[in-house]
Amino acid sequence: MADLLLGNVEENIADEEINAFLQKYGFPSFDHIQRVTGTGAHPAALLHYASASEEILRTLQPRVHHIFWNNRTITAQIIPTREVD
């Protein structure tokens, strides 16, 4: 299980469009999406993958990091899995 943070993604982009974009670059379908608005200047989407490991996402991450999509340059960061005690 792993998470991917896509930064600078417009809030009005549909979840399905984000999923299709990522699948075009080899990503599996995400299981859950959480929108992160922050200050509003650079909204983000936190994608949760229940069946994908951190290693798989790290391999795919460079394919979309700093790519120009929907009139914005997006960033892609892997959020490390935290161990819960």
CATH number at 2-79:
3.30.70.330
Compute the Cα dihedral for 57, 2, 6, 17 and give only its sign.
positive
pTM metric for this prediction: 0.89
What tokens appear for 6 in the block?
């896509």
Tens digit of each residue's pLDDT, the chain (85 residues): 899 999 999 889 999 999 999 999 999 999 999 999 877 678 999 999 998 999 999 999 999 999 999 999 999 999 987 666 5
